[in-house]
Structure 1
């Protein structure tokens, strides 16, 4: 499975887990058309987001500008959680790649304004990280 596909499926799973409290394995089985596909990266993403969700959510909240995490669209919340997980905990994927993937997934799954909002939140987060590292 391509990494982009794994990210798309991860967002779908995170959405189901968040909305309907579906167990992880059940959420994965619902989004997988081909059970023979390699799901290693998908499970890595999902387990990582779930393991670090409180840290991720606390970090996201710092950059929402007038919004509460609970009030943003569920799919946007899933996209942000996934992107923040990769930026915060996965050193293998460049931040710009994570940001571009999140924006493209938002264009695919969310409304036409969401990708701009996600871009703004991620840009602010990455800028603050860059400033902190300097």
Structure 2
């Protein structure tokens, strides 16, 4: 598993845990930063995970607007929490990170939800992200 794939999983864990607990994302990020300081062997994945989460925090309103626009009748609060977290981190990669290829961002997102969410989540996430990519 590549460092970026691991970073995406770490970012997903931060976004998901904040959502489930009802905490601000920054609170979950700070808790993970403390944990990461004690895990120097995972430093490579931590740096990109932090970049993703900071990006989501900085652009959360715009990201949620894109998700609302392109999710076709799915309100963000109705989405499974894993799907919501993956869509937020992947939308940040698609729209705000020029270093990530569109196909890679979408494929990584789909793989995450296939492993961690509902049977229909892969197709749903793929469709939403593909529409965002076409519009960007």
Query: TM-score per shorter chain, which class?
Result: 0.7 to 0.9
Cα RMSD (Å): 1.7
1 CA distance for matches of 2:47 and 2:121?
28
Q: Match for residue 121 of structure 2?
A: 114
Runs of 4+ in 1 over 6 A off after TM superposition: none
The offset of 1:75, in angstroms, is 0.7
The offset of 1:28, in angstroms, is 5.2
Structure with bigger helix share is 2
Q: Match for residue 125 of structure 1?
A: 132
2 CA distance for matches of 1:29 and 1:113?
35
Structure 2: stretches of 5+ with no match in the other structure: none
Q: Match for residue 35 of structure 1?
A: 39
Q: Does 1:71 align with 2:71?
A: no
Residues 15-39 of structure 1 deviation map (CA, whole Å, 9 limit, x = unaligned): 0112211611214556x6x711111
The size of the alignment, in residue pairs, is: 127
Q: Match for residue 10 of structure 1?
A: 11
Give me the TM-score of the superposition, normalised by structure 1. 0.87
